[in-house]
């Protein structure tokens, strides 16, 4: 097996799901968001454990992700969290995936496909309360619901919105929640009762729980993987992913000797260089060149030179005991997803979800 690998602790993941399930309570529903291969953790294995630990729904990003779960024998409710193109409706209906809907063209395409396949299609209507991505505008929401309810093969089971700043802007988030609440109340006042009302992501779940009483389906991703939505935030949830490798080669270079492409690192002293067989083709970001670090024997070892496609060089001068074959920690204790994200000016979602298919997943129970 390749020495560079991703270790996924399924026991910790299950415990995270159980804690979230307990916090939400029995009267509300939990969706485990497993899009992007479960944020790089492995969608099939994670989905099976999520359902067994108490998740009611699964959330995917594209049709293919939903089909993968169906082909693995998963029968739970699966929602595609973004609206797909009209050309995808045949597969959506055939595989019993719940579409997110926010345009009339897509709505009518689903109706026609439902007639063709002789199926009633449950849908969730997305309303844009401030994300500016998918969603009908608030002033169009009620009319859109009425239109959808008038179609014979469409069943409107819920409505959803998205909170883009639940981790950074409580005032704007509260305005969104009030707006969505008002829209739901208007719908109910004219006889449109929506079974599922969904707005909470991980940040809202942690930071705005008191304002979510009218919403009964929580869409949780990051927190279930043990990653806080805010850097430095303490969570009662355990990180699930660790990325590890081994030192494949060691040599000492003299002062003036360069390391890697473009000679961005030139040794100022005799430097013990270790080569780690993981690179940007594996999803290890090239922007970590000369600024990131890995851990060997519990010590931080700086990355020197540019990260290459298949390998990264580290400075082992301060770890004289290091030998070829020794374990290297790339993500885990002492190197969180937020630590790496901070170094390359991104978010932890990107760090974990980009860990590539070349890295074997080792599932620990």
Type and span of the H or E element at 263: none
Residue where a domain stops, chosen among 225, 256, 271: 225
Do 125 and 254 belong to one domain? Answer: no
Q: Is 349 a catalytic residue?
A: no
User: How far from 181 is each of 100, 143, 147, 169, 188, CA to CA, in Å?
Assistant: 19, 17, 20, 18, 11
Verify that 127 and 221 share a domain, yes or no.
Answer: yes
**DSSP code of residue 127:** B
What is the structure's pLDDT at 210?
A: 85
| Tens digit of pLDDT at every position of the chain (365 positions) | 899 999 999 999 999 999 999 999 999 999 999 999 999 999 999 999 999 999 999 999 999 999 999 999 999 999 999 999 999 999 999 999 999 999 999 999 999 999 999 999 999 999 999 999 999 999 999 999 999 999 999 999 999 999 999 999 999 999 999 999 999 999 999 999 999 999 999 999 999 888 898 999 999 999 999 999 988 889 999 999 999 999 999 999 999 999 999 999 999 999 999 999 999 999 999 999 999 999 999 999 999 999 999 999 999 999 999 999 999 999 998 899 999 999 999 999 999 999 999 999 999 98
Same domain, 154 and 216: yes
* 157 CB burial (10 A radius; 0-12, 13-18, 19+): middle
**What letter does residue 86 receive in the DSSP assignment?**
G
Please indicate, yes or no, if residue 49 is contained in any of the structural domains.
yes
Same domain, 199 and 247: no
Could you confirm whether 300 is annotated as catalytic?
no
Per-residue pLDDT, 330:
98
Domain boundary (225, 255, 274) is at: 225
> Does some domain include residue 3?
no
Read off the CATH number of the domain in which 300 is found: 2.40.37.10
The CA distances from residue 89 to 15, 68, 97, in Å, are 36, 16, 10
Say if residue 291 is in the same domain as residue 173.
no
| Shared-domain flag, residues 85 and 53 | yes
- Residue 365 has a pLDDT of 86
Q: How far does CA 21 lie from the centroid of its chain?
A: 18
Of 120, 143, 175, 261, the active-site residue reads 261
Same domain for 354 and 263: yes
Residue 4 lies in a domain: no
2: in domain:
no
Chain-centre distance of CA 244, in angstroms?
20
Domains: count for the chain: 2
In this structure, is the dihedral angle defined by the CA atoms of residues 133, 342, 200 and 178, taken in order, positive or negative? negative
The answer to whether residue 84 is domain-embedded is: yes
Spatial CA neighbour of 337 closest among 231, 195, 217: 231
Here the CATH number for the domain that contains residue 27 is 3.20.20.10
28, 35, 244, 246: the active-site residue? 35
Q: Please indicate, yes or no, if residue 193 is contained in any of the structural domains.
A: yes
- H helix or E strand, kind and range, residue 331: strand 327-331
* Same domain (yes/no): 53, 121: yes
Domain that residue 313 falls in = 241-364
Tell me, yes or no, whether 96 and 206 share the same domain. Answer: yes
pTM, to two decimals:
0.94
The pLDDT of residue 232: 87
């Amino acid at each position: 097996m390749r020495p560079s690998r991703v270790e996924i602790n399924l026991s910790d993941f299950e415990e995270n799901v159980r804690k979230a399930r307990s916090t939400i309570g029995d009267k509300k529903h939990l969706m485990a968001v497993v899009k992007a291969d479960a944020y790089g953790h492995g969608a099939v294995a994670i989905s099976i454990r999520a359902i067994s630990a108490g998740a009611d729904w699964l959330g995917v990003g594209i049709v293919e992700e939903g089909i993968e779960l169906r082909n693995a024998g998963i029968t739970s409710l699966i929602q595609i969290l973004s609206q797909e193109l009209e050309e995808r409706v045949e597969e959506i209906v055939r595989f019993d995936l719940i579409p997110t809907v926010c345009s009339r063209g897509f709505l009518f395409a689903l109706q026609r496909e439902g007639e063709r396949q002789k199926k009633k299609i449950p849908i969730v209507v997305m309303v844009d309360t401030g994300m500016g991505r998918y969603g009908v505008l608030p002033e169009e929401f009620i009319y859109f619901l009425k239109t959808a309810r008038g179609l014979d093969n469409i069943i409107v089971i819920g409505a959803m919105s998205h909170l883009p700043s639940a981790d950074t802007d409580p005032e704007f988030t509260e305005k969104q929640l009030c707006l969505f609440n008002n829209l739901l109340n208007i719908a109910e006042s004219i006889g449109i009762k929506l079974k599922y009302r969904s707005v909470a992501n991980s940040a809202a779940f942690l930071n705005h729980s008191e304002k979510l009483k009218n919403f009964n389906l929580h869409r949780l991703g990051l927190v279930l993987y043990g990653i806080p939505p805010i850097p430095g935030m303490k969570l009662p949830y355990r990180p699930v992913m660790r990325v590890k490798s081994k030192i494949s080669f060691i040599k000492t270079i003299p002062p003036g000797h360069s390391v890697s492409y473009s000679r961005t690192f030139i040794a100022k002293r005799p430097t013990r260089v270790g080569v780690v067989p993981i690179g940007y083709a594996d999803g290890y970001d090239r922007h970590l060149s000369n600024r990131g670090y890995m851990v060997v024997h519990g010590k931080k070892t700086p990355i020197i030179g540019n990260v290459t496609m298949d390998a990264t060089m580290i400075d082992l001068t301060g770890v004289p005991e290091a030998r070829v074959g020794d374990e290297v920690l790339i993500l885990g204790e002492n190197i969180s997803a937020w630590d790496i994200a901070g170094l390359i000016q991104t978010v932890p979602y990107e760090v974990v979800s980009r860990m590539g298919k070349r890295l074997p997943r080792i599932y620990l129970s």
